[in-house]
């Protein structure tokens, strides 16, 4: 090798080494490789669309949109209500669909809060999507034309109009969800919405058969009915028909999944589906002076919030309030902050009877007459969770609340009320970050017992897990295998449900074979009856 070639190869090796160091450093520090911020890109117009609205749906999208706005792009939000106060997102313009949804006035939704929530109850979502589709599509399309929109950034839940409007105008569409399983199904995962556990790794054959075949087929039947109705609307409006918009989105578009590292069960995903969470703001609303004084004056605070769209029964509200009072009396906690955005006074029993025989008037507590319970309609949640005196978060298990709790290291007690909260509750419990209670079997003593539980912060748990794993069979990698997708442990056949598919194929072939056998036998029998026997002599005339 001559000196010139040697120098050239050495230069390549050095450049490769430098590149690897830079990439590894960027990955460790930021989990992505930053682009050159000095590149002068022409500004574009971006539409952010979420028909349902709600803070947990819109806020992470707007946090991403705020970054795009800082880079010079023009961002317009279209949603119900009025979400973007100038103090929080001053550079983002909003066009409203109209008043925000009051879920307590939507009878089908209100009824769901008091029933077992599973996929059969999703009919109201499809009905709402169909009833509002035409108006929403027209508005999305008109705004896009008027504002010369270059890209649609759509929340993918009950928002077919946004996805369709982008495609109808031949614009790129980016989807957004906090629910990975809806975008990329795996054979070893399910969901409590199917009345199944989120992991099928240790389930019986019959349970896997139910969760992999029976329940999805039942849901497909429901989805197909409403999909046909929606496609009838699309046909009338000259829009391309789609069986399920999220499924096409997952195949052909960039989809951003707002989730927490380690929160989802491990799985591989297609390159167009990117886990980008948790999406957190640069700045969060601080504690108000009154709330700050209250939390600073209490060393063991229980924070309670069930989101802006979910609520529970009068009986459960009263049990919750009673358990909080008794937890304070027993010195388990010394303060409670409860954000009651959806619950007025008439959603409680007027009088609570405590276990010691005393009685308490709920109206006094709800009007902040109790020295250790602070009730408010809206709480700056991140600031509350980030306070050192907040020791436990009692939540409905929504994605945004779960991510903020994981980020601040605040242990959780979860009462899932519906939707993805059922799966979220299982995930944080598996992560060792939470305990959960059942809304149909709520018991004051159970809540008090769970409130007393000493839960380790997830970060500390994981660090100690790594510290001590070498003591297990002297195999430093053994226990880390559980961080891999379940399919790697279940084996090729079970991990891909080939045993289930093989059973179905066997049953189908058996039925087909049985039908053919009966058919052939029947034909032979009939032919034998019709045709004369070879030993039978023809009759003489």
Record the pTM. 0.71
Least confident range from 208-217, 387-396, 525-534: namely: 525-534
85: DSSP letter:
-
**Per-residue tokens: 31:** 């989990």
d(CA 159, CA 162): 6
Residue with tokens 């929340």: 155
C-alpha distances in angstroms, 133 versus 92, 140, 197? 25, 10, 33
Which residues does 116 contact at the CB level (< 8 Å), separation at least 6? Answer: 440
Least confident range from 240-254, 379-393, 404-418: namely: 240-254
Q: Work out the average pLDDT over 382-405.
A: 91
Q: What is the pLDDT of residue 9?
A: 40
143-197 confidence digits (pLDDT tens): 999 999 999 999 988 889 999 999 999 898 898 988 787 778 888 889 888 889 9
449-498 confidence digits (pLDDT tens): 666 554 334 444 444 444 445 454 454 444 455 556 677 677 778 877 88
d(CA 424, CA 153): 24
Nearest to 406 by CA among 480, 477, 444, 461: 461
| E strand map for 178-266 | 254-257
pLDDT at 26 over 80: no
Q: Work out the average pLDDT over 247-270.
A: 81
pLDDT confidence bin for 81, thresholds 50/70/90:
confident
Q: What is the pLDDT of residue 14?
A: 39
Q: Work out the average pLDDT over 496-505.
A: 84
| E strand map for 321-465 | 335-339, 351-353, 359-361, 373-376, 390-395, 412-414, 434-436
Domain covering 45-275, topology: Rossmann fold (3.40.50)
185-206 confidence digits (pLDDT tens): 888 889 888 889 988 988 999 9
Q: What is the pLDDT of residue 21?
A: 36
Superfamily of domain 289-454: Glycogen Phosphorylase B; (3.40.50.2000)
**Per-residue tokens: 307:** 């989101």
- Mean pLDDT (the chain, rounded): 78
Tell me the Cα Rg of the chain. 29
Q: What is the pLDDT of residue 343?
A: 60
Least confident range from 175-184, 204-213, 393-402, 432-441: namely: 432-441
**Per-residue tokens: 364:** 């006094």
Report the percentage of the chain scoring pLDDT > 70: 76
Q: Work out the average pLDDT over 288-309.
A: 91
What φ, ψ does residue 254 adopt, rounded to 5°? -75, 130
Question: CB of 383 within 8 A of CB of 285?
Answer: yes
Q: What is the pLDDT of residue 386?
A: 93
pLDDT at 372 over 90: yes
- Angle, to 10 degrees, between the axis of helix 399-408 and the axis of helix 421-430? 20
Same fold yes or no, 45-275 and 289-454: yes
Q: What is the pLDDT of residue 84?
A: 62
124 compared with 348, residue with greater pLDDT:
348
Q: What is the pLDDT of residue 88?
A: 79
Question: CB of 246 within 8 A of CB of 175?
Answer: yes
Query: So where are the chain's domains?
Result: 45-275, 289-454, 486-518
| E strand map for 81-201 | 93-96, 151-155, 173-177
Q: Work out the average pLDDT over 357-385.
A: 92
**Per-residue tokens: 540:** 């003489």
Q: What is the pLDDT of residue 157?
A: 82
d(CA 302, CA 284): 20
């Amino acid at each position: 090798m001559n000196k010139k070639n040697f120098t050239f190869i050495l230069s390549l090796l050095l450049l490769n080494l430098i590149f690897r160091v830079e990439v590894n450093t960027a990955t460790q520090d930021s989990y992505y490789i930053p682009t050159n911020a000095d590149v002068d890109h022409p500004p574009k117009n971006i539409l952010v669309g979420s028909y349902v609205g709600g803070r947990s749906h819109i806020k992470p999208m707007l946090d991403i949109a705020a970054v795009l706005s800082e880079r010079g792009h023009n961002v317009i939000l279209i949603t119900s209500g009025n979400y973007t106060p100038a103090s929080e997102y001053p550079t983002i313009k909003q066009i409203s669909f109209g008043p925000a949804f009051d879920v307590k006035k939507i009878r089908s939704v209100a009824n769901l809060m008091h029933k077992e929530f599973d996929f059969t109850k999703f009919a109201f979502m499809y009905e709402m999507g169909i009833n509002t589709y035409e108006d929403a599509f027209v508005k999305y399309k008109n705004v896009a034309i008027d504002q010369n929109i270059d890209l649609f950034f759509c929340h993918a839940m009950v928002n077919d109009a946004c996805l369709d409007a982008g495609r109808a105008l031949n614009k790129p569409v980016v989807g957004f969800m906090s629910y990975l399983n809806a975008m990329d199904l795996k054979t070893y995962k399910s969901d409590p919405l199917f009345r199944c556990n989120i992991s099928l790794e240790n389930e019986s054959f019959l349970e896997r058969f139910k969760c992999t075949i029976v329940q999805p087929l039942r849901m497909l039947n429901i989805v197909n009915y409403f999909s046909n109705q929606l496609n009838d609307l699309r046909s009338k409006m000259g829009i391309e028909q789609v069986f399920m918009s999220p499924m096409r989105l997952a195949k052909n578009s960039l989809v951003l999944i707002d989730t927490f590292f380690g929160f989802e069960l491990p799985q591989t995903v297609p390159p167009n589906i990117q886990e980008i969470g948790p999406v957190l703001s640069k700045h969060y609303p601080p504690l108000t002076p009154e709330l700050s004084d209250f939390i600073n004056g209490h060393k063991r605070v229980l924070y309670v919030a069930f989101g802006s769209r979910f609520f529970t029964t009068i009986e459960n509200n009263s049990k919750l309030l009673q358990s909080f009072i008794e937890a304070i009396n027993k010195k388990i906690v010394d303060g409670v902050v409860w954000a009651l955005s959806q619950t007025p006074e008439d959603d409680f029993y007027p009088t609570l009877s405590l276990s010691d025989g005393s009685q308490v008037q709920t109206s006094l507590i709800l009007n902040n007459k109790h020295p250790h319970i602070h009730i408010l309609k809206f709480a700056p949640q991140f600031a509350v969770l980030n306070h050192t005196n907040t020791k436990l978060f009692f939540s409905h298990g929504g994605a945004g609340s779960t991510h903020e709790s994981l980020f601040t290291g605040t242990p959780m007690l979860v009462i899932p009320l519906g939707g993805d909260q059922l799966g979220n509750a299982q995930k944080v419990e598996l992560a060792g970050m939470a305990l959960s209670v059942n809304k149909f079997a709520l018991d004051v003593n159970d809540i008090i017992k769970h409130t007393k539980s000493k839960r380790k912060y997830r970060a500390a748990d994981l660090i100690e897990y790594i510290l001590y794993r070498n003591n297990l069979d002297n195999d430093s990698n053994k226990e880390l295998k559980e961080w891999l997708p379940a399919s790697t442990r279940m084996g090729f056949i079970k991990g891909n449900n080939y045993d289930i598919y093989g059973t179905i194929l066997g049953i189908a072939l058996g039925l087909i074979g049985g039908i053919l056998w009966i058919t052939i036998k029947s034909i032979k029998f009939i032919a034998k009856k019709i045709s004369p026997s070879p030993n039978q002599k023809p009759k003489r005339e």
